[in-house]
Amino acid sequence: MPHGTEVLLPEGAPLTDIEYETPQHLIPFGCRSGACGACVIEVIDGFRSLGEADLDETDFLEDLGRTDGTYRLACQCRLLGSATVRVVE
């Protein structure tokens, strides 16, 4: 997270739940359905802890030019363990 912010969420929680844990808008969510691209994150550590990306998410990330396999749409992630992410500008 930006500035080393650490947020704890229950296992299986969508990453969108982060907004309920802090008043800061750490991730800029928009549509919350994988269609706008506002919530692109770079996964620094724990990629597998965010669940599997489906084909729609992978295709959309490719459309956005995020093709190196370290990016996810935060709104499509389910937290399964620890992960470190960075918001993409």
Helix ranges (H only) for the chain are 18-21, 55-63
Task: Confirm or reject binding of residue 36 to ligand FES (CB under 6 A).
Answer: yes
Spatial separation of the C-alpha atoms in residues 67 and 62, rounded to whole Å: 5
With CB under 6 A, what is the number of residues at the site for ligand FES?
A: 12
Task: Confirm or reject binding of residue 7 to ligand FES (CB under 6 A).
Answer: no
Burial string for 35-56 (b: 16+ CB within 10 Å, else e) reads eebbbbbebeeebebbbebeee
Shortest distance (Å) from residue 19 CB to ligand FES: 11
Task: Confirm or reject binding of residue 34 to ligand FES (CB under 6 A).
Answer: yes
Can you tell me which of 18, 26, 75, 83 binds ligand FES, judged by CB under 6 A? 75
Contact set with ligand FES (CB under 6 A): 29-32, 34-39, 73, 75
